[in-house]
Structure 1
Amino acid sequence: MLEKLMLNKNLKHSKFAIIAPNKPALSETFIQAHLEYLEPDYFFYGGSIPLFCNEKSIQPFWLRGLRRMVGEIKNRPNWHDLVAFRNKLKREKVNVILVEYGTLGASIANVCKDLEIQLVVHFHGIDATKKADSSGYEKMFQVATTIIAVSNTMKEDLIGLGCPTEKIVVNPCGPNPVFEQVNTNYEKQNIIALGRFVNKKAPYYLVLAFKKISKKFPDARLTMVGDGPLKEVCTNLIQYLKLNDKIQLVGARNKEEIIKYFNESSIFIQHSIESEDGDKEGSPVAVMEAGLAALPIISTRHAGINETVVDNITGFLVDEHDVDTFAEKLEELLTSGEMRKEMGMKGRQHVKNHFSMENHISILNQIILQAIKNG
């Protein structure tokens, strides 16, 4: 049973905030989980310098306009929002902040230092790569009490960016426990993919791999859940390959709808790659959710996926961009319902043992409570 963080009962004078670039999207289940289970006193969001707190604007529209003019005179473009944000933190006596994404952590590090706020920065993906906008990272690494990486691969990336090793805690995000309730249908040859239609997910590779096996397995069907800029590309590719009756793009879906799709599926696929701009996965929650749902997984040797999927045990891993081998592994799983069941059940146990939401939240609890005591 997950225990929520009870800061106000344990330490009455503490004020804890979570800060994110925006309100969490459907795909950002990790931020939604942090808000639900950590129960911050304040949730700030709205850009590189937060504009909103607990659904309300931090400053009146007229005052923001006035401050913007002063900032232009000072030649400090973000001064108007920075002043309002700083004043809000000081007024509410916030003393611990968990920041989602390193880039946002860098933008508020100076404010935290000035106000003697304990700063915990949670990295998630591209923010930990060499091609990230790492301006301000050196200062942030000095100010932050703890830097959270979601995989050992990310930890090495952060060390390469200059983060002190002793400040890094590896804590993969966990899947929602409800996915353990999925009753996977291993008899059907239904394949499911879940993720945004963006470069690092390479959804078009899933279409190409499915094409290679579609004639041999006429009953196989692929459902792709998610949305994003590459969705139209995939739609056009599906039409060109004449797979409209076999591949369905259903758009973004909520947790309850995803569970229904998982119940009717027997294989999960994701072909993650490092994109040209350096964007790559952290430790994809969708892959963990599929594992907890007892779906065998075919994916790539990429970032935290290497730790989530045990090759040849809970699924198969192939090299990035290797569509041919991806299709071969898909064929292997489609051939044997018994293999699908065996790998799926082992995958569920692996996720429960190593990537539970309970463990993830427990580690965050310890980090935040220690930061409060140090503050």
Structure 2
Amino acid sequence: MKTVLTILMLVPIFPKLSETFILNQITGLISRGHRVFIQAKIPGDITKMHSTVAKYDLINKTYYNTWPDMNSIDIVIAQTGMRGADFVAIKDVLGFKGKLVTFFRGVDVSRALCSHPKRYTNLFKKGDLFLSVCDFFRKRLVVHGCDLQKIVVHHSAIDCNLFSYKTKKLVSDESIRIITVARFVEKKGIEYALQAFAQVVKKYPNVEYHLVGDGPLEDKYKKIIQQLDIEESVIFHGMCTQQQVYDLLDHSHFFVLPSVTGVAGDQEGIPNVLKEAMACGLPVISTYHSGIPELVQHGVSGLLTKEKDSQALAEYMLYLVEHPECWPVMGAAGRQRVVEEFDKERVNDVLEQILYKLCC
């Protein structure tokens, strides 16, 4: 009979529509028989949440700026480095005697370390295990003083069953649809995609570019679109549910996410939306940024450029527009890669074994 673990997840906001990777982890551990509770600093918008939040009654398992009986908790999993650093400073006051696991996913190991290099000194000393979502971040943690023996690379997962594979083909007289799903922030590099797309649509006026998401740079992007005179070819969809995103991916031909390092040092890990696009059979265009080359193999499942190179992006967009025969081959390779390494069932099985090894 396997041991049942009692786990407390520390998150900044719950529920949060964009953080399906955390939700997949929570529900995956519950489905494996473990008791999981959530501690969040800020309540999320319950009018915009995934159906699994209600299915697993997660709101009633969530503490907002209060704490459960910490003597009953076997493992605390901080879903960001910042939450881990905050918790390690108060864990003794709370009476916590279990194990502390901390994920490093993006801003917490890029911009946060650039601005405060000693931010995690105490966490590195007192934390029991650190899970990095990519090898690129693992190396950075070591540089900043984390014990290599305490770090395990553990990828964020997606539910491949939600993103069923479809061979991408061009139907006669059909417009080619390029898509980006992203928060409208600097590190997503969308302005470079827009500059590149302007070159594409100049040559092929029937190509469409669909933007899914929202964020602080939306007005800036709309001004760029106006300046480039491509308003009729760029379609904004706003923030969408997971099912809506799937439907849009299903009706698109290839995916673009030209991630860049922000001015303040902000970086991606391995963007989950790239995994979702590849799971749907979409060829992808992205950049040699952070952990992305650990997912996308250049020339096999997609095409990679250096950061902030709109000319190279345009050339790769044009290549895929002009060579639809490449779509099924790249799409199949991408789907295989994601299913083998990033599907939530496999990744959650691995996480369960990591947690057992740590505390049992």
Which of 311, 317, 332 aligns to 2:319? It is 332
Which of 96, 100, 109 aligns to 1:128? It is 109
Deviation at 1:41, TM superposition (A): 2.7
Mapped to 2, the partners of 1:94 and 1:235 lie a distance apart of: 48
Relative to structure 1, the CA distance from residue 31 to residue 134 in structure 2 (aligned partners, 3 Å threshold; closer, same or farther) is farther
Relative to structure 1, the CA distance from residue 57 to residue 366 in structure 2 (aligned partners, 3 Å threshold; closer, same or farther) is closer
- What does residue 72 of structure 1 align with? none
Moved more, 324-333 or 183-192: 183-192
Deviation at 1:117, TM superposition (A): 2.1
Mapped to 2, the partners of 1:327 and 1:24 lie a distance apart of: 37
Which of 274, 299, 304 aligns to 1:287? It is 274
SS at the partner of 1:119? Answer: strand
| Contact 1:293/1:348, CA 8 A, preserved across alignment | yes
Relative to structure 1, the CA distance from residue 272 to residue 57 in structure 2 (aligned partners, 3 Å threshold; closer, same or farther) is closer
SS at the partner of 1:265? Answer: coil
Query: How big is each residue's C-alpha offset from its partner over 1:134-174, in whole Å with a ceiling of 9 and x where there is no partner?
Result: 55512211222210011110111111111100111001112
- What does residue 150 of structure 1 align with? 133
**TM-score (norm. length: structure 2):** 0.87
Relative to structure 1, the CA distance from residue 42 to residue 56 in structure 2 (aligned partners, 3 Å threshold; closer, same or farther) is closer
Correspondence list, 1:314-353, <5 A: 314-353=301-340
Deviation at 1:359, TM superposition (A): 2.5
- What does residue 35 of structure 1 align with? 26
SS at the partner of 1:10? Answer: coil
Query: How big is each residue's C-alpha offset from its partner over 1:10-45, in whole Å with a ceiling of 9 and x where there is no partner?
Result: 335x42111101114222221111122122431110
SS at the partner of 2:282? Answer: coil
Relative to structure 1, the CA distance from residue 107 to residue 338 in structure 2 (aligned partners, 3 Å threshold; closer, same or farther) is same
- Which one-letter code corresponds to 1:279 in the other structure? D
Mapped to 2, the partners of 1:23 and 1:174 lie a distance apart of: 18
- What does residue 72 of structure 2 align with? 93
Correspondence list, 1:239-250, <5 A: 239-250=226-237
- What does residue 145 of structure 2 align with? 162
**TM-score (norm. length: structure 1):** 0.83
Which ranges of structure 2 fall in alignment gaps of 5 or more residues? 43-57
Mapped to 2, the partners of 1:95 and 1:215 lie a distance apart of: 59
Deviation at 1:201, TM superposition (A): 0.5
Mapped to 2, the partners of 1:154 and 1:11 lie a distance apart of: 31
- What does residue 105 of structure 1 align with? 84
Which of 290, 293, 304 aligns to 2:291? It is 304
CA RMSD between the two structures:
2.1
Identity of counterpart residues, as a percentage? 27
Mapped to 1, the partners of 2:359 and 2:83 lie a distance apart of: 21
- Which one-letter code corresponds to 1:338 in the other structure? E
Which of 223, 226, 243 aligns to 1:236? It is 223
- What does residue 115 of structure 1 align with? 96
- Which one-letter code corresponds to 1:141 in the other structure? F
Mapped to 1, the partners of 2:141 and 2:15 lie a distance apart of: 24
Mapped to 1, the partners of 2:82 and 2:348 lie a distance apart of: 22
Relative to structure 1, the CA distance from residue 267 to residue 362 in structure 2 (aligned partners, 3 Å threshold; closer, same or farther) is same
SS at the partner of 1:197? Answer: coil
Deviation at 1:95, TM superposition (A): 2.2
| Contact 1:107/1:136, CA 8 A, preserved across alignment | no
Moved more, 106-115 or 248-257: 106-115
Mapped to 1, the partners of 2:19 and 2:298 lie a distance apart of: 26
Which ranges of structure 1 fall in alignment gaps of 5 or more residues? 1-8, 48-52, 60-80
Mapped to 2, the partners of 1:243 and 1:270 lie a distance apart of: 19
- What does residue 11 of structure 1 align with? 3
Mapped to 2, the partners of 1:56 and 1:363 lie a distance apart of: 24
Deviation at 1:372, TM superposition (A): 3.5
Q: Does 1:25 align with 2:16?
A: yes
Relative to structure 1, the CA distance from residue 134 to residue 23 in structure 2 (aligned partners, 3 Å threshold; closer, same or farther) is farther
SS at the partner of 2:14? Answer: coil
How many residues end up aligned between the 2 structures? 333
- What does residue 158 of structure 2 align with? 175
Which of the pair has more CA radius of gyration? 1
Query: How big is each residue's C-alpha offset from its partner over 1:235-290, in whole Å with a ceiling of 9 and x where there is no partner?
Result: 12212222221111111111111111111111100010010111100111001111
| Contact 1:296/1:314, CA 8 A, preserved across alignment | yes
Moved more, 241-250 or 265-274: 241-250
- Which one-letter code corresponds to 2:105 in the other structure? H
Which of 99, 115, 120 aligns to 1:137? It is 120
Mapped to 2, the partners of 1:58 and 1:183 lie a distance apart of: 41
| Contact 1:272/1:300, CA 8 A, preserved across alignment | yes
Mapped to 1, the partners of 2:132 and 2:277 lie a distance apart of: 21
